[in-house]
Amino acid sequence: MSIWQIIKAGGLTMFILLGCSVLSLAVIMERIIYYRRSSRVKRTEFMSLIKKELQSGNIKQALEISQNTFTPFASVVHSGLNLLGHSEVVISNTMEREIAVETTKLERFTTIVGTIGSTAVYIGLFGTVLGIIRAFNDIALTGSGGISVVISGISEALGCTAAGLCVAVPAVIAYNYFIKKVDNFVTDMELCASETLDLITLKQK
C-alpha cells in the first residue's frame, strides 16, 4: 500500500494525526532555532566581560553589553544592573522576576509537543479500533467474507497505530530535549543572577 492509500484507509483519524505531525514539527523547528540562537554566548565568557566592565567603572558599557546580547541570562543581568544603587533585596527580586519571565519564553509552545507526544498513540489506537469495527461491520452486512477479508481490514486499521507511533516518538524525544534545555537555561540564569548581585554588592560598598 502507498502512503496515500494508508492515509485514506485511516480516514479522519489519519488526517488528525497528519495535522498533529505538521504542528509538532513546526514547533520543534521553531524551538530548536530559538534555543540555538540563545546558546551562542557562553555564560562564563559573558560574565567575564560584565565583571571586567564593572571593575573598570564602565556601568554604561556593561548595560550595553547585557542589552545587546540575545540570551536569557543577559536579560537577567541587565535587569539587575539597571537597579544599581538600590538595595540588594530590590535587585534580587527584580532578577528573580526576570528569570520567571525568561523561563516562560523558553517554555513557550513546548506543552504542545508534550501533549501531541502523549496523545498521538491513543489517537492512533482509536483509529485502529474504529477500523476493526468497520471491517467486522462490513462483513456482518454483506454476510460473506473470510480470513483474507478480516486480515485486509485489520491491516488497514493498524496503519493508524503505526502513524500514531511515528508522530508520538519524535514528539516525546523533542519534549524531553526541550525540558533539559530549559533546565540548563534556568541554571545559567540563576548563576548569573547570583554573580551579578555579588558584583553589584562589591561595587556599592
More confident residue, 188 or 142: 188
Position 106 in a domain: yes
Residue 3 lies in a domain: no
Query: What mean pLDDT is predicted for residues 47-70?
Result: 90
**What b/e string do you get for 168-198 counting C-beta neighbours within 10 Å, with b at 16 or more?**
bebbbebbebbeebbeebbebbeebbebbee
Position 204 pLDDT exceeds 80: no
pLDDT in tens, 109-134: 999 999 999 999 999 888 888 878 77
Residue 1 belongs to some domain of the structure? no
105 within some domain: yes
Determine, yes or no, domain membership for 2: no
Give the structural domain span for 139. 8-204
Q: In the chain, how many domains are there?
A: 1
CA gap 32, 174 in Å, rounded: 9
- Inside any domain, residue 161: yes
Per-residue pLDDT tens over the stretch 83-96: 888 888 999 999 99
Residue 33 lies in a domain: yes
pLDDT over 70 at 27, yes or no:
yes
Q: Is residue 194 part of a domain?
A: yes
User: Looking at the predicted structure, is the pLDDT value of residue 158 above 70?
Assistant: yes
Alpha carbons 6 and 91: distance in angstroms, whole number = 59
Residue 166, all three cell numbers? 511515528
* b/e code 89-116 from CB counts within 10 Å (16+ = b): eebbebbbebbeebbeebeeebebbbeb
Phi, psi of 178 (to 5 degrees): -60, -45
Residue 205 has a pLDDT of: 62
Question: Is residue 179 scored above 90 in pLDDT?
Answer: yes
Residue linked to cell 546558546: 39
